[in-house]
Amino acid sequence: MPGTLDGKTIVITGASSGLGAAAAAALADQGAAIAVVGRNSERTHAVAAKVGGTPFIADYDSLDEVRALAGALTARYDRIDVLANNAGGLVGKRGKTADGHERTFQHNHLAPFLLTGLLLPRLRESGGRVISTASAANRLGSVDLDDLESARRPYLGGWRAYGTSKLETIMFIRELARREATVSAYSFHPGYVATNFGTELAMIRVANFITRGGLGISPEQGGAPLVHLAATRDVGVPSGAYFDGLKPNGSARPEADDRALAAGLWEKSAQLVGLS
């Protein structure tokens, strides 16, 4: 029986585990061809085999690997209908990537910004969609165009940098929606998903111990908004919307609506990754 997504190609980053893997399985069940992108080769290949997709390996600690990923994706697929920027996470200790950027900033913002920019020609051709995993933690963040690397602010176990990067995710999606006439864009908060998120942090480990690993919702529940936004052509709200779960117009910091700040973030990000 034909699936509702037959003939569609969906790229999901961070798909080797957690909500990304759950979403990959659900979208494959609807007939989509899934590009399973992950950092861990063994897990990525396992998920790809399970969903009948194609594995792609990339470590967001290196922007060259992101560029290579974009090249591999465009070589493999004549069309890309959906790009789901789901990779990223919380880094508990301040550090720098191979490119010299603060790791949370690169993993959660610069790398998906670069990948999206490089795949935009394919997405435009298909009238495609970009979906980015944000977080309610955006309310902990604050974007300073003169301190995007969080060098002048306390790191606070990574939470402030993480919240700021998720605020940047919402702003990036809204700016993308303003700039693109043929590509739609949405971001969403999945809820706290019971995965390996933040397990390097003591408070997360304690909470998982107290709840016997029951902290958070299932990966399938967390992936439901991604599946909905990837599979539903008309989601009923304008491009650029931020969803809290399946509900549009989630709560975000006031900066999320600052168009000048979002445009400045776009331009500075483009300079940092070498996009015109």
* Residues recognised as catalytic: 162
Residue-wise pLDDT tens digits, 11-52: 999 999 999 999 999 999 999 999 999 999 999 999 999 999
Each domain of the chain, given as residue ranges in start order, spans 9-193+219-273
- Whether this prediction's pTM lies above 0.85 is answered by yes
> The domain at 9-193+219-273 falls in which architecture?
3-Layer(aba) Sandwich (3.40)
Cα 126 to Cα 69: distance, rounded to the nearest angstrom: 19
Cα 226 to Cα 187: distance, rounded to the nearest angstrom: 9
More confident residue, 192 or 241: 241
Q: What's the angle, vertex CA 240, arms to CA 18 and CA 138, rounded to 5?
A: 55
Q: Which residues have CB under 8 Å from 108's CB, separation 6+?
A: 88, 89, 162, 165, 166, 168, 169
Residue-wise pLDDT tens digits, 119-163: 999 999 999 999 999 999 999 999 999 999 999 999 999 999 999
Tell whether the model's pLDDT for residue 186 goes beyond 70: yes
Residue with tokens 């003591």: 202
Tell whether the model's pLDDT for residue 214 goes beyond 70: no
23-32, 99-108, 192-201, 228-237: segment of lowest average pLDDT? 192-201
CA atoms within 13 A on the CB side of 66: 29
